Amino acid sequence: MTDLDLTTRLRSFDYPTWRAHVEATGGCAQPVRLRGSSTISTTSGRVLAERTGEVWAPCGNRRETVCPACSDRYAANAFHLIRAGLAGGDKGVPTTVTQRPRLFLTLTAPSFGPVHSRRLSTRGRVIPCPCGTHHRDGDPHVGTPLDPDTYDYTGSVLWQAHAGKLWHRFTITLRRTLAAGLGLSAREFASRARLSYAKVAEYQRRGLVHFHAAIRLDGPNGPTDPPPSGATHELLIDAARQAARSVLLEVARPDAEPLALTWGAQVDVRRISATTAAEVTDERGEITDQRLAGYIAKYATKGTGKTDQHPDRPIRSLAHLDHLRLHPHHRRIIETAWHLGGLDDYAELNLRKWAHMLGFRGHFLTKSRRYSTTFRAIHHDQRIWRLAEQLDELGHDPAADPVIVVNNWHLVGIGHRDETDRELAIAHAERIREQRTTRRTT
């Protein structure tokens, strides 16, 4: 966007209308444009407000590289969803959950070949990479194979495609391990206890996901029930470590050779503290409620780990890659996923659909049924709050005379008309973020 483009847009006749739409979406980078009408009337038939014409709605994309404004909203909602399950006192979760056995777990991918690394010594000095280079922070080579020709791209894509199933196997194994630790059978465990969790997938520099999870041990009905006697933090931590080491999923390579899928050797387990200290962890290695919720919510909006070097949408052919700015390592992963997706043996994995996600087919943020509230419930509460605010501005009391809202909108387009408008919208979202950050620090 040049200065001339900016001046021309600011002087255009429709700029005030466009600016109002952008402010209504909080600076959404690819708004959903709707045309139609909306009417708010009382049950007695009196019309309180009526709106016709075009309105814009946020796209709702969680990825920061696609829409910074909507990813901020997603992260905020994710924070409240996760925080409710950790601290309670809101959204139907009692505060007694802070006394339950709880842990923060990180499960990583195994190695598929040596990669460039950047490690620090105890004195904070950069340890030379096996290639002999002292990589700087943010070096795009970090996480990429030392020898791409010997790196197991096929194995890495198959692991990535089964990561969600591997997590499912882990939760089953964890329940069985906890049952054994409590002296219960698997069936008895289901009637005496419940495993509740919220997890987020985060891409590592090498393009493979690892999972961060907040895990809580409840009674059979969830957060309102206490866990069975004998359920302790130590039991949960030991069971998680044991389950992570023992989970195994076997699949076949294209040449029919078996491939054992496991978690990586790096398994981090920390007890969750009930305090709200300023630091992420305390001297005992524990992590606090509020910091953990923010930590997980932040990673829920991340992309594949190398900014602006991965596609944001599904690709239609390998020729599509020639028009994208891709890191060579990511290109090889996508090409491998595309190749495997064309084989009958992997048809059920639908890898070509997920090639742009480097083969990962799962949701980035998931939770168990009884962990806490849902995104749908949060969005419903937000809509009710906005309607109450609007009725208050109209001077109407819905308790005395309930209202009926009738919406009739149809889609007319998605996104801004050109790159200038998109960049202006993103700049507006950035100003909102800076103002919010300033309020927090003053």
Judgement on whether residues 98 and 209 belong to the same structural domain of the protein: yes
Q: What is the token pair recorded at 440?
A: 């927090």
Same domain, 272 and 411: no
Same domain membership, residue 271 and residue 215: yes
Q: How many structural domains are present in the chain?
A: 2
Do 425 and 278 belong to one domain? no
**325, 354, 371 - which closes a domain:** 371
H-run or E-run covering 43:
none
Please indicate, yes or no, if residue 302 is contained in any of the structural domains.
yes
Which whole number is the average pLDDT over 218-236?
A: 92
Helix axes 163-181, 153-161, angle to 10 degrees: 60
One domain for residues 221 and 354: yes
Pairing of strands 102-107, 119-120: unpaired
The reported pLDDT for the residue numbered 322 is 85
The verdict on residue 89 lying in a domain is: no
Crossing angle between the packed helical segments 419-441 and 68-87, to the nearest 10 degrees: 40
C-alpha span between 54 and 37 (Å, rounded): 8
Residues 277-334 have pLDDT tens digits of 334 444 555 666 667 777 777 766 665 444 445 677 788 889 888 888 888 999 999 9
Q: Report residue 93 as tokens.
A: 């979760």
Confidence of residue 350 (pLDDT cuts 50, 70, 90): very high
What is the crossing angle of helices 375-394 and 68-87, to 10°? 110
Q: State the pairing for strand pair 32-42/403-414.
A: antiparallel
Residue 170 lies in a domain: yes
Choose among 234, 232, 250: nearest CA to 242.
Answer: 234
Question: In terms of domains, do 312 and 408 share one?
Answer: no
76 is a domain residue: no
Residue 25 has pLDDT above 50, yes or no: yes
What's the mean pLDDT in 48-63?
Answer: 92
Output the CA torsion sign for 139, 145, 149, 154: negative
Question: How many Å apart are CA 30 and CA 33, to the nearest integer?
Answer: 9
Q: Which of 414, 170, 357 is nearest to 269 (CA)?
A: 170
Which of helix, strand or coil describes residue 278?
Answer: coil
pTM: 0.85
Collapsed DSSP state (helix, strand, coil) of residue 148: coil
- Taking residues 69-81, report their average pLDDT: 88
The answer to whether residue 72 is domain-embedded is no
User: Are residues 405 and 292 located together in one domain of the fold?
Assistant: no
- Quickly state the pLDDT bin for 62 (edges 50, 70, 90): confident
Pair (38, 159) in one structural domain: no
Instruction: With respect to residue 428, please indicate whether it lies within any of the assigned structural domains.
Output: yes
The last residue of a domain, from among 345, 371, 397: 371
Are residue 318 and residue 428 in the same domain, yes or no? no
57-77 as b/e: b if 16+ CB within 10 A: bbbebbbbbbbbbbbbbbbeb
Q: CA nearest 157: which of 365, 332, 302?
A: 332
For helices 419-441 and 15-25, the axis angle rounded to 10 degrees is 50
Q: Kindly report which listed range (76-90, 106-120, 175-189, 408-422) carries the lowest average pLDDT score.
A: 76-90
Q: What are 294's two structure tokens?
A: 């923010």
- Based on the fold, state whether residues 335 and 400 are members of the same structural domain: no
Contacting residues for 369 by C-beta, under 8 A, at least 6 apart: 222
Please tell me the predicted confidence (pLDDT) of residue 307: 40
For residue 271, which of 259, 283, 261 has the smallest C-alpha distance?
283
Winning range, highest mean pLDDT, from 27-31, 59-63, 93-97, 292-296: 27-31
Q: Please give the angle made by the CA atoms of 412, 413 and 419, to the nearest 5 degrees.
A: 145
Q: Which two tokens stand for residue 121?
A: 């010594």
Comparing 380 with 122, the larger pLDDT belongs to 380
Mean residue pLDDT across the chain = 88
Same domain, 48 and 107: no
Tell me the pLDDT tens digit for each residue of 398-417: 888 899 999 999 999 999 98
Amino acid 440: pLDDT: 64
Quote the pLDDT of residue 293.
Answer: 74
Query: Of 323, 341, 371, which residue sits at a domain end?
Result: 371
Task: Evaluate whether 371 touches 196 at the Cβ level (below 8 Å).
Answer: yes
pLDDT at res. 436: 80
State the Rg of the chain over Cα: 25
Question: Which residues share a beta bridge with 249?
Answer: 261
pLDDT for 32-49, tens place per residue? 999 999 999 998 889 999
**What is residue 310's predicted lDDT score, i.e. its pLDDT?**
61
326 in the same domain as 306: yes
The parent domain of residue 28 ranges over 3-62+376-441
